[in-house]
Amino acid sequence: MTYIGSSVKRVEDKRFITGQGNYTDDIVLPQMTYACMVRSPHAHAEIVSVDIAHAEQMDGVVKIFTGKDTDAAGIGGVPCGWQVDFKNGDTMKEPPHPLLVSDKARHAGDAVAMVIAETYAQAKDAAEMVMVEYNVLPAVTNAKVARADGAPQVHADVPNNLAFDWELGNPREEVDAAIAAAHHVTTLEFINQRVICNAIEPRSAIGHFDTAYDKYTLYTSTQNPHLIRLLLCAFVLGLPEHKVRVVGPDVGGGFGSKIFHYTEEALVIWGSNQIKRPIKWTAERRESFMTDAAGRDHITTAKMAFDKDGNVLALSADTYANMGAYLSTFAPAVPTYLHGTLLQGLYTTPLINVSVDAVFTNTTAVDAYRGAGRPEATYLLERLMDTAALEMGRDPAELRLQNFIAPFDGVEQEGYQTQVALQYDSGNYEPVLKRGLEMVGYEQFRADQKAAEGTGKLLGIGFSTYIEACGIAPSAVVGALGARAGLFESAQVQVHPTGKVSVYSGSHSHGQGHETSFAQVVADKMGIPMEDVEIIHGDSDAVAFGMGTYGSRSLAVGGSAIVKSIEKVLEKGAKIAAHLLEASVDDLDYAEGKWTVRGTDKSVAFGDVSLTAYVPHNYPEGLEPGLDFSSFYDPANFTYPFGCHICIVEIDTETGEVKIKRFIAVDDVGNVINPMIVDGQIHGGLAQGIGQAFCEGAIYDESGQLINGTYMDYVMPRADDLPSFEIDRTVTPCPHNPLGVKGAGEAGCIGSTPAVVNAVMDALKGYGIHDVEMPITSQKVWNIIHGS
Amino acid sequence: MVPSKFAYHRPSTVKEAIELLAAHGDDSKILSGGHSLVPVLKLRLNDPEHIIDVSGIESMGGIRDNEKSITIGANATHGEIANNAALKAHAPMIAHAASMIGDVQVRNFGTIGGSIAHADPAADWPAVLLAADANVVLSHAGGQREVDIDQFFKGLFMTAMDEEEIITAIRIPKTAFNKNSTYVKFPQPASRFALVGCAAAIANSDGYITEARVAFSGVSGTPFRDSNVEKSLKGSVLNEGSIATATASVADGVSILSDHFAKENYRKHMAGVYARKALSALA
Ligand SMILES: Cc1cc2nc3c(=O)[nH]c(=O)nc-3n(C[C@H](O)[C@H](O)[C@H](O)COP(=O)(O)OP(=O)(O)OC[C@H]3O[C@@H](n4cnc5c(N)ncnc54)[C@H](O)[C@@H]3O)c2cc1C
């Protein structure tokens, strides 16, 4: 049986579909208490006083902690996990992110106190009676505005709210000179708006200090339990790591927002030792809107220069990246090493310079959100490409084909060295665009578009040919770029005496289907049925170490670690088999679950070998018993999926309503283990990317209030907003990992957004505009058409 | 999200409910399907001490097909209304509008009485009931009264209901215009309430319009009938020309809502477009 490449149904779905998933909020511990946070309603306000006297006396209240208590305990706050220093070498500004603020609130939702009670309702009632006196200050929510002199100061010791500035690529003067001398320059100023992650499961955390063992357990809705443990122990609370267990049980979606170490996790752990009882905190949906790290929020000016034949000569980009009020765990990496480094795109642009100001504002922190930096880079490049084609009277597909990097497989031909630090692993870009054009029926579409003129309906087509980078690695390189963690993965393959296999992975599934895809890999590589394989993840007491799941890294990095352990198992298994078969290891072949002496019918089954490993009566001399191996895999490079997304829209000129008629996605994610799961990842990503274009976007008022912080006002894309996706793939294997896989979790979200906006711009090309701010509402389109 | 503490009452007759309301006055709230009230309670925008759940009062339920009217119990759910044969036959816009409210779960819980008591200007019912010339049946300690729907909606979340009254039913007259009626909506993309909801009901005689009722939800803080549109239509033949004339200046003189989905100018324009769509469907 070959499992790899087949659409095996997801084994985890039984428990999810039948409501038997085990999420953090489902966990109930004896003696458990419930926490409710008192949060600042103001975006920027000094805390004059906090009066808990009345609240403390209320029914069921166990304890109330304020910022004074965490200050007194000497807790510095949650750290940032990535350091990006200023252009001039100065150290990144990294003001503390306190668990509870005692001096001032820096965004609406900043926690001032934690109320712990016997029930959540009691905690909530008492939280309402904690009297906080605020001195409200002017707030700033826009990163560009925050840089100006006289803007409100989010942190007293961060002048002009600049956390750091950064640049990458060729010298700016060279780039600017090339732009100045170019035949044509396309300039765009745009906003890549803030989106809120909106995982269906709100964040939740339970802290439990077990006085019998002096051991802490944190259950938390996280994408990376070990990383949380490391940060909690080494940076926040100074706890002994062997006395802390972090469990990320079933997690209902993360999209990046559950990578980060949040204050509430540290609070429930610290608090549980103070009161010697477990504490559960679960976000209300409103708290999710106010406190989950958000995504995007870039204000950018970008220029792309061309010669008279349409060859790209140079690219410059200047971005204000909104960091929010504090630096979240990976925030500094997102607009820099995950954004600037992708600005080569699929094009041979010889000169590139990107410059970023990372800015504090009175808003919720911004960090990685599905795609993290690469969607912003793709949006920048692909909007420029279509706009340039329009301005130069060129066909957008042809303009791309002309500028594509030539194919290279990373084996015969070297990887492609970009102007912005990265070296692409393997790529063959023409086929994805050509396949897309074929699927869309490009010539017919252009004819239909002409025919629609004057009917009150405008048709438009938009392209996006993207590249992205997954499985960020190797550790030494990311360390040099400022990461305060490694980016490898671990896996243990434990063969039981009966030949059944438990696999412990440091990756963490929160919707991706690891329990299926990983089991497919293991079953195939070991020649055993999938039913004999169990994938275990998400518990730091079960899994030796792990870096978790984000950046589409799980199969490329975590899967490769599993393969390494399988190789070790099979290598030792062969020694045992050789002994049992009285043959030499070199004369054995392993296939379909048994070792066979080449050219004979003498064989021994995997199960017999595993039994022998644990009942080593007749056993090779000097070989240790057991069949159980761990590996750590640190990749040689990132992987670079790419693809082509094409969107067709129809606009009603009378109402400004936009309908997506078709959406075509041809992605190359390397080898595919489970096509159904990859399709699902692409579909979900497309919905999110299209959602950014048409639906989503945080709106703050002048005082820093999020005015669309509920589902009554914050638009999420729904199934009936979307067409039936037409998807296909090409396969360019990754040359540097054993599975040849590249990663598929974010591609849909990375490529789709500019395709949609480009399609709307193509439809509106008669109106002399070059940009429309996302989300594209009917009102905005109507304004353009009707000139208001 | 948990509400503040409250005492829960579940009367089985209207009389009992009214007595409870009288006893607890300001500190109480009627609960029907809970699909507007429960979110309000959970967000702690209101914290009544007493909740009087009327969903068990049998006389407030069901849909009765009478000789001259159809009586919809206040507790009838949107789902029941959407599937009611008498309403589909005599006032199709009522059943149609009900089918466009929220999703299946909302329609199976939310009630017509709860919706109009709540009086959200963007809800679907106000436009439809205005166009239908409905009467709202209110019960109080002294008996009951019927209020003409034109007198019922008083503003944002405000109605003609007295504090100690309960809506027990909505009466829809069996008229020629209700038989020939429809409802269209331009939904707010997040909540899917109406940015513009337009209900139109037209009676003809010998091809000429004898009565036209055209009403809007979502456009203004108070749902309204547009008398200019109605006057313009009356006496004419319903066709492209008369519809264009009638809908050229929809919502003139009305104070129009504005938000990040639809500013005043756009909302007014869309009110015109949707009025035309509704009327065209009847032409
Ligand atoms: C997800 C979602 C989507 C929705 N989508 C739509 C939509 O598209 N269009 C739309 O129009 N609506 C929509 N709604 C609102 C829905 O229609 C509500 O059901 C309705 O507004 C309230 O009816 P209820 O029976 O649930 O009332 P409740 O929530 O129980 O009560 C609402 C108010 O009415 C009062 N009340 C209830 N019954 C009576 C009575 N008999 N007499 C006096 N006062 C009473 C209550 O005290 C309360 O103030 C949606 C709601 C949700 C949750």
Asked if residue B169 lies in contact with residue B72, where contact means CB atoms within 8 angstroms, the answer is yes
Closest CA to A196 of A745, A711, A549: A711
pLDDT band at A787 (very low <50, low <70, confident <90, very high): confident
Q: Looking at CA atoms only, how far is residue A120 from chain B in angstroms?
A: 8
pLDDT higher than threshold 90 for residue A784:
yes
**DSSP 3-state of A118:** coil
User: Any CB–CB contact under 8 A between A788 and chain B?
Assistant: yes
The answer to whether the peptide bond before residue A529 is cis (omega within 30 degrees of 0) is no
Indicate which residue's Cα is closest to atom 32 of ligand 1: B114
pLDDT reported for residue B232: 97
Q: Around A734, how many Cα atoms within 13 Å sit in the side-chain half-sphere?
A: 30
pLDDT in tens, A666-675: 999 999 999 9
pLDDT higher than threshold 70 for residue A500:
yes
**Is the CB of residue B113 below 6 angstroms from any atom belonging to ligand 1?**
yes
Instruction: Give chain A's mean pLDDT.
Output: 97
Instruction: Find chain A residues with C-beta within 8 A of B189's C-beta.
Output: 695, 715, 721, 777
Cα of B212 vs centre of ligand 1, distance in Å, is: 28
Percent of chain B with pLDDT over 90: 98
Instruction: Find chain A residues with C-beta within 8 A of B269's C-beta.
Output: 782
Instruction: Find chain A residues with C-beta within 8 A of B190's C-beta.
Output: 708, 711-716
User: Any CB–CB contact under 8 A between B43 and chain A?
Assistant: yes
**Is the CB of residue B81 below 6 angstroms from any atom belonging to ligand 1?**
no
Closest CA to A743 of A663, A635, A630: A635
Give me the residues paired with residue B65 across strands: B70
Residue whose CB lies within 8 A of the most ligand 1 atoms, among B54, B115, B136, B217, for a mutation test = B115
Instruction: Find chain B residues with C-beta within 8 A of A699's C-beta.
Output: 260
User: Any CB–CB contact under 8 A between A213 and chain B?
Assistant: no
pLDDT in tens, A268-325: 999 999 999 999 999 999 999 999 999 999 999 999 999 999 999 999 999 999 999 9
In the structure encoding, which two tokens stand for residue A412, read together? 């015969």
Q: Looking at CA atoms only, how far is residue A297 from chain B in angstroms?
A: 18
pLDDT reported for residue B1: 84
CATH fold, domain A298-404+423-472+637-785, is Aldehyde Oxidoreductase; domain 4 (3.30.365)
Instruction: Find chain B residues with C-beta within 8 A of A778's C-beta.
Output: 262, 266
**Is the CB of residue B36 below 6 angstroms from any atom belonging to ligand 1?**
yes
pLDDT in tens, A238-284: 999 999 999 999 999 999 999 999 999 999 999 999 999 999 999 99
Type of residue at A330? F
In the structure encoding, which two tokens stand for residue A730, read together? 């090409």
3-state DSSP helix/strand/coil percent for chain B, to nearest 5?
35, 30, 35
Percent of chain A with pLDDT over 90: 97
Asked if residue A93 lies in contact with residue A245, where contact means CB atoms within 8 angstroms, the answer is no
Residue whose structure tokens are 């750590």: A632
Which residues in A402-417 are b (16+ Cβ under 10 Å) and which e? ebbbeebebeeeebbe
In the structure encoding, which two tokens stand for residue B215, read together? 């009403």
In sequence order, the 6+-apart residues with CB closer than 8 A to the CB of A768 are none
Closest CA to B257 of A195, A782, A710, A779: A779
Contact B4 A656 (CB under 8 A): no
pLDDT reported for residue A1: 57
Three-point CA angle A523, A526, A532, nearest 5°: 45
Residue of chain A whose Cα is closest to the Cα of B188: A713
In the structure encoding, which two tokens stand for residue A720, read together? 């009936």
In the structure encoding, which two tokens stand for residue A401, read together? 């084909």
In the structure encoding, which two tokens stand for residue A716, read together? 């999420």
Q: Which of A125, A655, A778 sits opposite B4 (nearest CB)?
A: A125
pLDDT in tens, A399-434: 999 999 999 999 999 999 999 999 999 999 999 999
Identify from B46, B104, B261 which residue to disrupt to test chain A contact, counting A C-beta atoms within 10 A and taking the largest count: B261
Residue whose CB lies within 8 A of the most ligand 1 atoms, among B118, B167, B198, for a mutation test = B118
**Is the CB of residue B277 below 6 angstroms from any atom belonging to ligand 1?**
no
CA–CA distance, B29 with A491 (Å, rounded to integer): 58
| Pairing status of strand A658-668 against strand A244-247 | unpaired
pLDDT higher than threshold 70 for residue A143:
yes
Beta-carbon count within 10 A of B68 CB:
8
Type of residue at A576? I
Residue whose CB lies within 8 A of the most ligand 1 atoms, among B49, B101, B168, B198, for a mutation test = B101
Size of interface A-B (CB pairs under 8 A): 45
Asked if residue A690 lies in contact with residue A775, where contact means CB atoms within 8 angstroms, the answer is no
Identify from B191, B258, B274, B276 which residue to disrupt to test chain A contact, counting A C-beta atoms within 10 A and taking the largest count: B191
Identify from A653, A715, A720 which residue to disrupt to test chain B contact, counting B C-beta atoms within 10 A and taking the largest count: A715
Ligand 1 atom index nearest CA of B111 = 25
pLDDT higher than threshold 80 for residue A788:
no
Question: In chain A, which segments carry CATH 3.90.1170.50?
Answer: 13-137+200-253+258-291
CA–CA distance, A651 with B189 (Å, rounded to integer): 17
Q: Please provide the CATH number assigned to the domain covering A13-137+200-253+258-291.
A: 3.90.1170.50
CA–CA distance, A715 with A119 (Å, rounded to integer): 33
Contact B262 A779 (CB under 8 A): yes
Which string of DSSP letters, residue by residue, matches B85-108? HHHHHH-HHHHHHHHTSS-HHHHH
Long-range CB contact pairs, A625-630, < 8 A, 24+? A627/A495, A627/A569, A627/A572, A627/A573, A627/A576, A628/A492, A628/A493, A628/A494, A628/A495, A628/A569, A629/A492, A629/A493, A629/A565, A629/A568, A629/A569, A629/A572, A630/A490, A630/A491, A630/A492, A630/A493, A630/A544, A630/A565
pLDDT reported for residue A781: 98
In the structure encoding, which two tokens stand for residue A73, read together? 């305990």
Contact B191 A121 (CB under 8 A): no
Three-point CA angle A695, A697, A701, nearest 5°: 135
Question: In chain A, which segments carry CATH 3.30.365.10?
Answer: 298-404+423-472+637-785, 488-633
Contact B2 A121 (CB under 8 A): yes
Instruction: List, in order of start, the domains of chain B with CATH numbers.
Output: 7-56 (3.30.43.10), 59-173 (3.30.465.10), 176-282 (3.30.390.50)
CATH fold, domain A488-633, is Aldehyde Oxidoreductase; domain 4 (3.30.365)
pLDDT band at A622 (very low <50, low <70, confident <90, very high): very high
Q: What is the pTM of this model?
A: 0.96
Q: What burial class does residue B118 get, using C-beta atoms within 10 Å of its C-beta: 0-12 exposed, 13-18 middle, 19+ buried?
A: middle
**Is the CB of residue B107 below 6 angstroms from any atom belonging to ligand 1?**
no
Closest CA to A669 of A368, A520, A467, A505: A467
Type of residue at A543? V
**Is the CB of residue B166 below 6 angstroms from any atom belonging to ligand 1?**
yes
Tens digits of pLDDT across chain B (283 residues): 899 999 999 999 999 999 999 999 889 999 999 999 999 999 999 999 999 999 999 999 999 999 999 999 999 999 999 999 999 999 999 999 999 999 999 999 999 999 999 999 999 999 999 999 999 999 999 999 999 999 999 999 999 999 999 999 999 999 999 999 999 999 999 999 999 999 999 999 999 999 999 999 999 999 999 999 999 999 999 999 999 999 999 999 999 999 999 999 999 999 999 999 999 999 9
In this structure, the dihedral spanned by the alpha carbons of residues B150, B151, B152 and B154, taken in order and rounded to 10 degrees, is 110
Q: Write phi, then psi, for B97 (nearest 5 degrees).
A: -60, -40
CA–CA distance, A705 with A707 (Å, rounded to integer): 6
CA–CA distance, A209 with A206 (Å, rounded to integer): 10
Contact A711 B261 (CB under 8 A): no
User: Any CB–CB contact under 8 A between A779 and chain B?
Assistant: yes
User: Any CB–CB contact under 8 A between B253 and chain A?
Assistant: no
pLDDT in tens, A46-81: 999 999 999 999 999 999 999 999 999 999 999 999
User: Any CB–CB contact under 8 A between A439 and chain B?
Assistant: no
Which residues in A440-460 are b (16+ Cβ under 10 Å) and which e? bebeebeeebeebeeeeebbb
* Gyration radius (Cα) of chain A, Å: 27
Asked if residue A82 lies in contact with residue A482, where contact means CB atoms within 8 angstroms, the answer is yes
